[in-house]
Structure 1
Amino acid sequence: MDFDLTEEQSILKDSLGRLLADNYTFEERKRFMASPEGWSQEMWARYAEMGLMALPFAESDGGIGGGPVETMIVMEALGQAIALEPYFPTVVLGGGFLRLGGNSDQKAEFIGQIAEGSLKFAFAQVERNSRFDLHHVETQARKDGGDYVLSGAKSVVVHGDSADKLIVTARTAGGPRDPGGIGVFLVDANTPGVSRRGYTMQDGLRGAEISFDKAKVPASAVIGDPENGLPLVSRVVDQAIAALSAEAVGVMSAMHALTLDYLKVRKQFGVPIGSFQVLQHKAVDMYVALEQARSITLYATMMADSDDDLERARAMHATKTEIGRGGRLVGENAIQLHGGVGMTMEYAVGHYFKRATMIDLTFGDSGHHLRALADLQGTLAA
Structure 2
Amino acid sequence: MDFDLTDEQNLLKETVDRLVADNYGTLEQITAHRAAPGGFREEGWQRLAELGLLGLPFSEADGGFNGGPVETQIVMEALGRGLAPEPYLPTVLLGGGVLRRAGTDAQRQSIIPGIIDGTLRLAFAHTEPRARYDLHDVATQAVRQPDGSYRLDGHKSVVLSADTARWFVVSARTAGARRDEEGISLFLVPADAPGLSVEAYPTHDGGRAGNVFLAGVTVPADALIGERDAGLAVIEWVNGVAIAAVAAEAVGIMEALQALTVDYLKTRRQFGATIGSFQALQHQTVDILIATEQARSMSYFAAMMLDEPDAGARSLALSSAKVQINRSARLVGQKAVQLHGGIGMTMEYLGAHYFRRLALLETQFGDTTHHLRRVAQSEGLVQAG
- TM-score range with shorter-chain normalisation? over 0.9
Aligned to 1:21: 21
How many angstroms does 1:379 deviate by? 5.2
Aligned to 1:369: 371
Aligned to 2:319: 317
Aligned to 1:87: 88
How many angstroms does 1:228 deviate by? 1.2
2:257 to 242, 255, 258: 255
Aligned to 2:51: 50
Please say if residues 314 and 379 of structure 1, whose CA atoms lie closer than 8 Å, have aligned partners that are also in contact: no
Give 3-state SS (helix, strand or coil) of 2:163's partner. Answer: coil
Aligned to 1:191: 193
Q: Are positions 1:224 and 2:222 aligned together?
A: no
Q: Are positions 1:139 and 2:134 aligned together?
A: no
1:162 to 156, 161, 164: 164
| C-alpha RMSD over aligned residues | 1.0
Aligned residues, how many?
380
CA distance in 2, matches of 1:286, 1:89: 29
Q: Are positions 1:205 and 2:202 aligned together?
A: no
CA distance in 2, matches of 1:79, 1:358: 13
CA distance in 2, matches of 1:274, 1:246: 28
Aligned to 1:103: 104
How many angstroms does 1:19 deviate by? 1.1
Please say if residues 196 and 211 of structure 1, whose CA atoms lie closer than 8 Å, have aligned partners that are also in contact: yes
Structure 2: 5+ residue runs without aligned partners?
A: none
CA distance in 1, matches of 2:133, 2:144: 27
CA distance in 2, matches of 1:270, 1:291: 33
How many angstroms does 1:243 deviate by? 1.0
Aligned to 2:331: 329
Please say if residues 288 and 332 of structure 2, whose CA atoms lie closer than 8 Å, have aligned partners that are also in contact: yes
Please say if residues 97 and 238 of structure 2, whose CA atoms lie closer than 8 Å, have aligned partners that are also in contact: yes
Please say if residues 139 and 170 of structure 1, whose CA atoms lie closer than 8 Å, have aligned partners that are also in contact: yes
Cα deviation 1:127-167 (Å, max 9, x = unaligned): 11000110000111111121111101011111011111111
CA distance in 2, matches of 1:305, 1:99: 14
Please say if residues 147 and 217 of structure 1, whose CA atoms lie closer than 8 Å, have aligned partners that are also in contact: yes
CA distance in 2, matches of 1:65, 1:274: 45
Q: Which runs of 4+ in 1 moved over 2 A?
A: none
Determine what percentage of the aligned residue pairs are the same residue: 52
Please say if residues 38 and 84 of structure 1, whose CA atoms lie closer than 8 Å, have aligned partners that are also in contact: yes
CA distance in 1, matches of 2:228, 2:381: 32
Structure 1: 5+ residue runs without aligned partners?
A: none
Aligned to 1:339: 341
Please say if residues 249 and 293 of structure 1, whose CA atoms lie closer than 8 Å, have aligned partners that are also in contact: yes
Aligned to 2:37: 36
Cα deviation 1:315-373 (Å, max 9, x = unaligned): 10001100001000000001110000010010011111111111121111111101110
Q: Are positions 1:360 and 2:362 aligned together?
A: yes
Aligned to 1:69: 70
Please say if residues 139 and 150 of structure 1, whose CA atoms lie closer than 8 Å, have aligned partners that are also in contact: yes
AA paired with 2:139?
Answer: E
CA distance in 1, matches of 2:199, 2:288: 38
Aligned to 2:296: 294
CA distance in 2, matches of 1:57, 1:305: 15
How many angstroms does 1:274 deviate by? 0.7
CA distance in 2, matches of 1:336, 1:185: 46
Aligned to 2:115: 114
Please say if residues 239 and 305 of structure 1, whose CA atoms lie closer than 8 Å, have aligned partners that are also in contact: no
Aligned to 1:243: 245
Aligned to 1:273: 275
How many angstroms does 1:73 deviate by? 0.3
How many angstroms does 1:205 deviate by? 0.7
Cα deviation 1:46-94 (Å, max 9, x = unaligned): 0000000110011111111111010000000000001100000001111
Please say if residues 315 and 379 of structure 1, whose CA atoms lie closer than 8 Å, have aligned partners that are also in contact: no
Give 3-state SS (helix, strand or coil) of 1:5's partner. Answer: coil
Cα deviation 1:188-219 (Å, max 9, x = unaligned): 01100000011110011111111000100111
Aligned to 1:130: 131
How many angstroms does 1:108 deviate by? 1.2
How many angstroms does 1:300 deviate by? 0.6
Q: Are positions 1:9 and 2:9 aligned together?
A: yes
Give 3-state SS (helix, strand or coil) of 1:186's partner. Answer: strand
CA distance in 2, matches of 1:53, 1:199: 25
Please say if residues 345 and 351 of structure 1, whose CA atoms lie closer than 8 Å, have aligned partners that are also in contact: yes
CA distance in 1, matches of 2:102, 2:356: 33
Q: Are positions 1:282 and 2:284 aligned together?
A: yes
Cα deviation 1:207-253 (Å, max 9, x = unaligned): 11110001001111111112111011001111111111000100111
AA paired with 1:134?
Answer: L
CA distance in 2, matches of 1:252, 1:34: 24
CA distance in 2, matches of 1:42, 1:170: 34
Give 3-state SS (helix, strand or coil) of 1:84's partner. Answer: coil
Please say if residues 38 and 161 of structure 2, whose CA atoms lie closer than 8 Å, have aligned partners that are also in contact: no
CA distance in 2, matches of 1:257, 1:374: 35
AA paired with 1:331?
Answer: G
